[in-house]
Each structure stands twice: as structure tokens, then as C-alpha cells.
Amino acid sequence: MASSGAVPFWRAAGMTYITYSNICANLVRNCLKEPYKAEALSREKVHFSFSKWVEGKPEKPSILLFTSHFSSSVSFNFIDRRFRFNFR
Amino acid sequence: MLRRATSALLSGVSRRRFSTDVPATPSVDSSFVEAWKKVSPNLDPPKTPLSFMKERPQTPSTLPTKLTVNFVLPYASQLSAKEVDMVIVPATTGQMGVLPGHVATIAELKPGVLSVHEGNDVTKYFVSSGFAFIHANSVADIVAVEAVPLDRIDANLVQKGLQDFTQKLNSASTDLEKAEAQIGVDVHSALNSALTG
């Protein structure tokens, strides 16, 4: 079930501990009873606004809303890629 | 269980300190203080984070009867310097009972039940993952990303999640997908056994 040998299975698949522990935490949050579930998920909401700096002035910011309400880990990967794209 | 005996054996040897062990007297850089006094004689030298930290209690020579537990989450402090009889933490190596006088250890936690025993009262939390730092002075620091009392978990959602992820594990093609599905199965079966067991 859990890790066998020196490297846990999620590490062998290229995941970091942060990714692993966040996935675990999200799965637990999604299994909560209702008043607690909404509270836990809203606590994890993150807002970002990105704006490019052009000729000494910031352009109109694009507001992105990320929630960590990942129904599946596919959307998690999607967000991960978006982050990398925006920071590059 | 490893108890005092090993620490008594080790006491002759110079023991390495934890980085979280705050020294009894915060070290003050005297040359910095002198230089500061020259520049601004009316202002006190700035305090460093170290000087705000409370000193950790020394390792007592006799075995304490209670274990001091700090249990923290990113958004809340569940237990703060609470004196309990025992905690059982879900370490990756198996359930680990921590009594007063436990040897200093760092344990990685897996999704599972953390139980806090105080006399006849047992408080159970489900922790998603995290670490337990057990200090030689009978202080245990437990950190987790998410932890909830067991009665807040919905058994129907756990069953549904377990089915979903078992299916995903069978249909996963890449290593990453397999690992994600495996995590899902692990977490949900841990939740399931926490509710049933």
C-alpha cells in the first residue's frame, strides 16, 4: 500500500511532497460533511491577478481565480501548467 | 518501546541539538550591539526572531507523567501545549504510540487517524499527511496539511471516492495517473478504515 523501499511510489512518478500532500488534503476535504466541506473548500480558494509590465507601465491585469476544489487531479495538472506558463 | 534507557546511554556522548531547540540564553552578537550603539545610542538594537521564541523546557532527569503536544494546521492551531497521556500518530512505518519520555524522532505521517489520549478521553482526528517531531523533553509537535475530527467525515462520499479511484487505478495509463489514482485509493481506504475500525 504505502512506500516500499527508499522512494515512495508518488516520488517515483515524479511528484513532489508538496503535490502529494496537497492531493491528500484535497481528497480529505472533499469527503467532509456539508457545513464543514464548504468551509474547508472556501478556505483553500486562491485569487491571482497577473499583469504584464510593458514600457514602465502595467497592462490591464487579467484576473484569474484558482480554487483548489479539484474534483480530479487532472485539473490540478492543468493549473500547474498554467502557473508555469504565466511565470515564464 | 524505546524509552529513557537509550537517552541515558547517550548522555555521555555530545548529543546533537534539534534546530528547534532554542538555547537557554539567546545568543547576542556583542560586536553588533556595540556597532549599533555607536550609530544610534538612543535606540535599542533590533530583536531577532530568536529572541521572541520561548525557551524550550530542558529535558528533565526524571520521566514526566504527561506528554506536551502541539498540533497545528496551516489555518488553525488544534492543540497548543496540551498535556496528554499518549498520542498515536499514523507514521508511514505504521501506527506509532508516543508516551512521555519517547526518544527524539521525526516521523513522516501517512493519511490516517491521530488519536490523543487523556485519561479515559480519546480524541480522534483524521490527518491527510504531515510530520510529527518528537523532542527528547517529552514535547511532540505534529503538523498536518488537513486534519478533521472523525465525525465530520461523510461515509457515503468516502465509499464513492474509493470506487472512483479504484476504477481510475485500473484505467490509468501513465505513471503519474497511476500514482494519483493510488493516492486516491490510499486516502479513501484510510478514511474508510478510520470510520469502520
Is B140 a domain residue?
yes
Q: What is the DSSP string of B84-101?
A: ESEEEEEETTEEEEE-TT
Chain B interface includes A73 (CB < 8 A): yes
A10/B110 touch (CB, cutoff 8 Å), yes or no:
no
Residue A11 pLDDT more than 70?
Answer: yes
Span B53-67, average pLDDT:
79
Residues B91 and B123 grouped into a single domain: yes
Across chain A, mean pLDDT equals 72
ipTM over 0.90: no
Q: Looking at beta carbons, which residues of chain A come within 8 Å of B178?
A: 13
Q: What is the pLDDT of residues A64-82, one digit of tens each?
A: 666 544 433 334 444 444 4
A13/B179 touch (CB, cutoff 8 Å), yes or no:
yes
A31/B157 touch (CB, cutoff 8 Å), yes or no:
yes
CATH label of the domain that carries residue B109: 2.60.15.10
Q: Which long-range contacts (CB under 8 A, 24 or more apart) does B71-74 make?
A: B71/B114, B71/B116, B71/B125, B71/B142, B71/B143, B71/B144, B71/B147, B72/B141, B72/B142, B72/B143, B72/B144, B73/B143, B73/B144, B73/B145, B73/B146, B73/B147, B74/B145
Task: Please answer whether residues A51 and A86 qualify as being in contact, where contact means their C-beta atoms are separated by less than 8 angstroms.
Answer: no
Chain A interface includes B35 (CB < 8 A): no
Q: What is the pLDDT of residues A36-59, one digit of tens each?
A: 988 888 888 777 777 888 888 888
If we measure between CA atoms, which residue out of B1, B196, B3, B184 comes closest to residue B113?
B196
Is B143 a domain residue?
yes
Span A32-37, average pLDDT:
89
Chain A interface includes B86 (CB < 8 A): no
Chain B interface includes A88 (CB < 8 A): no
Residues B71 and B139 grouped into a single domain: yes
Q: What is the pLDDT of residue A41?
A: 86
Residue B12 pLDDT more than 80?
Answer: no
Q: Band of the pLDDT at B165, cuts 50, 70, 90?
A: very high
Q: What is the pLDDT of residues B71-86, one digit of tens each?
A: 999 998 998 888 999 9
Q: Looking at beta carbons, which residues of chain B come within 8 Å of A73?
A: 177, 180, 183-184
Residue A63 pLDDT more than 80?
Answer: no
Residues B145 and B164 grouped into a single domain: no
Is B116 a domain residue?
yes
Residues B26 and B86 grouped into a single domain: no
Residues B105 and B136 grouped into a single domain: yes
B146/A43 touch (CB, cutoff 8 Å), yes or no:
no
Domain residue limits at B182: 153-196
Span B114-122, average pLDDT:
91
Residues B131 and B160 grouped into a single domain: no
Question: E-strand spans in A1-88?
Answer: 46-50, 53-54, 57-58, 62-66
Q: Which residue in A12, A21, A36 is closest to B128 by CB distance?
A: A21
The CA distance from A16 to B7, in Å, is 34
Task: Please answer whether residues B90 and B113 qualify as being in contact, where contact means their C-beta atoms are separated by less than 8 angstroms.
Answer: yes
Is B62 a domain residue?
no
Q: Band of the pLDDT at A3, cuts 50, 70, 90?
A: very low
Residues B45 and B74 grouped into a single domain: no
Is B59 a domain residue?
no
Q: What is the pLDDT of residues B22-58, one digit of tens each?
A: 555 556 778 888 999 999 999 988 888 777 877 777 7
Q: What is the pLDDT of residue B28?
A: 73
Bridge partners (DSSP) listed for residue B116: B87, B123
Q: Which residue in A3, A21, A37 is closest to B92 by CB distance?
A: A3
Task: Identify the weakest region by mean pLDDT among A17-26, A40-49, B185-194.
Answer: A40-49
Residues B145 and B72 grouped into a single domain: yes
A2/B152 touch (CB, cutoff 8 Å), yes or no:
no
Provide the number of structural domains found in chain B. Answer: 3
Q: What is the pLDDT of residue B144?
A: 94
Residues 50-69 of B with CB under 8 A from A: none
Q: Band of the pLDDT at B146, cuts 50, 70, 90?
A: very high
Across chain B, mean pLDDT equals 84
B111/A28 touch (CB, cutoff 8 Å), yes or no:
yes
The CA distance from B96 to B112, in Å, is 11
The CA distance from B22 to B55, in Å, is 5
Residues B146 and B166 grouped into a single domain: no
Is B57 a domain residue?
no
Residues B145 and B157 grouped into a single domain: no
Nearest CA in chain B to A76: B180
Q: What is the pLDDT of residues B119-142, one digit of tens each?
A: 889 999 999 999 999 998 889 999
